[in-house]
Amino acid sequence: MLFKQTSKNSVTVSTDPFKLSTCIVVVNNYDSPGGPCGVIMHSVRKVRTTAEQQEAKRKKDAVENRKYLDLQSRVFAARANSAPAAASLELTTDLLELNPEHYTVWNYRRELLTELNDNALLQKDLRLIEQLMVRYPKVYWLWNHRRWVLKQLGSEAPWDRELGLVTKMLEYDGRNFHGWRYRREVVKTIEEIKGQSMAEEELKYTTSKINANFSNFSAWFNRSQLLDKVAAESKEKQLQAELEYSRSAVFMDPEDQSAWTYYRWLLTNDQFKAEQAKVIHNEIEQIKELAEEEPDSVLCIYTLWILTKKIGQHQPELIDRLIELDPMRGERYKYMKREIS
């Protein structure tokens, strides 16, 4: 269970984090909109329970909540009274295993580890975080504390192993933006240590993740960060390859927003410099062909609008078509149209 305190005597209990689903129970609010026990579910089918089952769960949660609040009080008291660091560290371990989002306790833990000044304890912390990450892969404070631990380890930090770890994490959830951000930091550190670029290798890695799921926005974004690092002599060739790759992605799935976003970024971010207008003209013709095949694709029409605007060819009829296809964003499109009037 994952606990989050919401007030002095109220605790929120989250379950099933391993499956990346969320079930929140507001313990002391039994009249909440979610029904008895205030159950709010995301991506999980709500299972009807009997009154007896609900009462049993309420009692069980109440016991767990009391244990949690008692442990939290002991941790806060230890900090206030400057209790011995080793014993206090164990208390923070117990509490963080219940609630890894308790950033105040992470701050206290770092104070204790700094005081103890023992690399063996730091290595132990890396193992603890790995165990917690399996259950809570999207908790920011785990990734944040791991960065701090590695920094404290200095030359003893196992950076190659870290790259393997984050690769495994992204196999489990390829769209975990915490994981992608951490991967960029790890790669940057390894590059600094070894004195050589890993951009080509990382481009291949993002290709494998995108091929597995075109909707992986985090992988597309990571790819955009790598292009500027490609060796100058091969950059133009790489840009052409990127254009063909992203164009293939949008043709294969015209409703995939992630691929379209990357495709537009390539064409409008001045990557192609002197030849940009020529490149955009060519791509406009390509997208027009797709629009004939997919006349109701909002993303396709929107991209045509962006590209024609980039080269000064304002086509208000494209905006009219967007308003027709996507009335919920009609006011935004009308504003875009007024901008060129």
pLDDT tens figures, 207-231: 999 999 989 999 999 999 898 787 6
Any idea what the CATH number is for the domain that residue 262 is in? 1.25.40
Flag whether pLDDT at 132 surpasses 80.
yes
Residue 276 lies in domain:
234-341
**318 within domain boundaries:** yes
Phi, psi of 7 (to 5 degrees): -160, -175
**86 within domain boundaries:** no
Q: State the pLDDT at residue 240.
A: 85
Q: What is the DSSP string of 211-266?
A: HH-TT-HHHHHHHHHHHTTS-HHHHHHHHHHHHHHHHHHHHH-TT-HHHHHHHHHH
pLDDT tens-place string over residues 237-260: 888 889 999 999 999 989 989 999
Q: CA 171, CA 125: separation in Å to the nearest integer?
A: 23
Question: How many Cα atoms within 13 Å fall on the side-chain side of residue 45?
Answer: 2
Lowest-pLDDT range of 21-25, 121-125, 202-206: 21-25
State the pTM of this model: 0.69
Q: 135 or 33: whose pLDDT is higher?
A: 135
Rounded to the nearest integer, the mean pLDDT of the chain is 84
**315 within domain boundaries:** yes
Strands 39-42 and 22-26: antiparallel
14 falls in which pLDDT band (50, 70, 90)?
very low
- Number of neighbours of residue 75 by Cβ within 10 angstroms: 21
Between 85-98 and 119-135, two packed helices, what is the crossing angle to 10 degrees?
10
The number of folded domains in the chain is 1
Q: CA 235, CA 255: separation in Å to the nearest integer?
A: 29
**218 within domain boundaries:** no
Sequence length of the chain is 341
At 173, list the tokens.
Answer: 């959830």
